[in-house]
Amino acid sequence: MTTRDAYILLEPAHFLKDKELVLPTTPEDVETRRRIVDFIHEIDTARFMLAMSYKEQYLDLVEEIDLNNKFKTEYFKQHYLYSALIWYHNSFDLVLQCLWFKHRLYGDIQLHSNNIEKILCDCKLSQIQKRLYNEQEDNPITEFNKRNHEVHDLANRLKHRQYIENENYLLYAEALFILSDGYNSDDTKFHKKLADIQSRLVVYHKDIISLAKEILLPIHNSISNLLE
């Protein structure tokens, strides 16, 4: 697949854009709409990064004489792909935040501009499942997370635990950290094929666009006073 093919294949979230001026009437609707707009932007960024990871030759970044240097080509592919991974994960967080504000899942607290961060502290997948869906498994958020648990795990690993090594090509020379008792730090390294992540993110993109149409579009229309 070429970069252009990928960019055409990956549908943007422009169906959530406002067709006319929208004036939300409550703080909850304002914050929900803001996150819908942010979702559109983050999907656009993730889509661009994923498409760029499909370039075979980064002629704008690598001298032609160096195109056979795998370090110089895999290096850029890997960084575009890992950026896409994080942006897609962030976009799912925004879906959760839209539900959090729209359904006032934080309780009877009055929303103000100076307490948003406090209100968002409990906005987690587990709390959405508990407060909105009463722990029922048959709901779009839980089902989406089950289907895409691997992507979420990779993103969390990359953000919070460790770098994901390219299984096909080691970009950086690794120092050995072996203790006398046999502990080998290299055993804790996590390796993944870039092609596997690419394929998984293409599926993820299609899935989160479908989720947005199922969950965010009706919310968007209700805020915009449009018929669903």
Nearest alpha-carbon partner for 77 in 57, 47, 48? 57
Q: Which helix (H) or strand (E) holds 46?
A: helix 27-52
pTM: 0.87
* 200 pLDDT above the threshold of 70: yes
Q: Would you say the C-alpha torsion 178, 179, 184, 189 has a positive or negative sign?
A: negative
Write out pLDDT tens, residues 32-70. 999 999 999 999 999 999 999 998 776 666 666 655 666
Write out pLDDT tens, residues 83-124. 999 999 999 999 999 999 999 999 988 998 889 999 999 999
